[in-house]
Chains A and B, each alone.
Chain A
Amino acid sequence: MATEQSVDLVDDETVGWFTKAVLIAALTAALAQISIPLPGTLPPFSLQPFGMFFAGLVLGPLWGGLALLLYLLVGIAGAPVFSNANAGLGYVIAGQGTGGFLVGFLVGAVVAGAIAHRGTTPRPVADLSVPVQVVALAAAVAVVYAIGVPWLSMVTGLPLARAATVMAPYVPLDLLKLGIAVAVVQGGYLASR
């Protein structure tokens, strides 16, 4: 007996954006495992926000959001993709007080992508002007803190002002990362992408 079913192929353009989203999700997971130690009592220089920055700039709001959503889902499913090879829904909620920042990265990528590309179809990265890139990434950083700090306060019971004080030392580092991400794009390394 014939049980034929026609194959509904995914079109080439969608496959291209999909694989980029998958690989940026894997890159976000890999960068979460790597940090550059800083001297003294400064927190280590984590490379994780670059995943969000590149997802927004290269992939736009739809596919960039997918990349970060995939990152969170594989972590919830048990792959050791969060920092220090952690996994699980408990880590997304609590983290090291940083659970909200993971969700913030997802929303941040969507916001950065929406500002940079002004639509769901990504434009070539080389067409994005420097001010647009800076505004997009600064908005993403603002969103990450707007979600992360109240979340930290909710999880730990710290008053909002004190939670903000705890996270304040990370802001200059994140702005430095923003500058590096823009420099990477301006360096022309992504011009053909």
Chain B
Amino acid sequence: MLSYRPGSTFAHRLDPRSKLLVQFGLAIAAVAHPTLPWLVGTTAFALGALAAARLSPLAVLRSYRVVLAVLALAPVVAGVALGPPWFRVEPALRSALYVGRILPVLLVSAAYLTSTPVRDTRAAVQRLVPGKPGRILGAGMALVVRLFPLVLADVREVRDAIHARGGEARPLWDRARLLAVRALERTLDRSDRLAVALRARCFAWNPTLPPLAFERRDYPVLAVGIALALSPLVPT
């Protein structure tokens, strides 16, 4: 699976805010224009983004293979007809074009996540959203990332314990209920302990943030992001 890899590529050196804007801008531009020229253009742009992050397109396709395989079924489903001629080409091609425009969005988001540590995104969110909501979102993201592996281990432990007691023989709803109850119980216990720990550490609305700074190279990237995001407004 794709995750952050330390490095010093052009993409790594950009401010996370400009990268976020480009990502959202490209997603808006790609989804708003289901046409072949835009598909070619956004895919070329996405390949450029991958090159800026020194990331192989094949590696990205491999890690998104399940997603792509399921999406590839859409044109087949769109083309099937419940009577002669049984398969209609025109809706299948239209669906293929719609699915195709998602590919550059996947590629650019892969470039983002391999070149941006989660703590940078957290800092960007906290700076982009002003005041207390930004503080809550920033601290919340950091804590979710920290606690997710522990909660996942809890849930797996509960599942294994149910299996060890012959739980596979129980009806589906009973297994799901047991898993949900025990997982929720452990999660809420963790929440109580976390609340005590945060209060003991003087959890405050005005902490010190990691430094972020726009540099000269960020401005053209920001401009591209804004242009892409506004592209649906330009009449074609």
Interface residues of A (CB under 8 A from B): 5, 7-10, 12, 15-16, 18-27, 29-31, 33-34, 36, 38, 45, 47, 50, 54, 58, 66, 69-71, 73-74, 76-81, 84-91, 93-97, 154-159, 162, 166, 176-177, 179-181, 183-184, 187, 189-190, 193
Contacts and interface: CB of A to CB of B under 8 A. Distances in A.
B67 A22 contact: no
A58 B159 CA distance: 23
Contacts, number: 250
Contact of A27 (B34, B136, B183): B183
B227 interface: no
A106 B63 CA distance: 26
B234 to A, nearest CB: 21
Interface stretch (B35-43, B94-102, B215-223): B94-102
Contacts of A21: 140
A19 B156 contact: no
Contacts of B74: 97, 156-158
Contact of A189 (B34, B184, B204): B184
B191 A94 contact: no
Interface of A is mostly: helix
Nearest to B139: A18
Contacts of A54: 184
B86 to A, nearest CB: 15
A18 B140 contact: yes
A109 to B, nearest CB: 14
A5 B99 contact: no
A31 B114 CA distance: 24
Q: Give 9 nearest A-B pairs by CB, closest first.
A: A157-B98, A90-B106, A78-B113, A88-B109, A77-B121, A156-B74, A157-B95, A90-B109, A96-B70
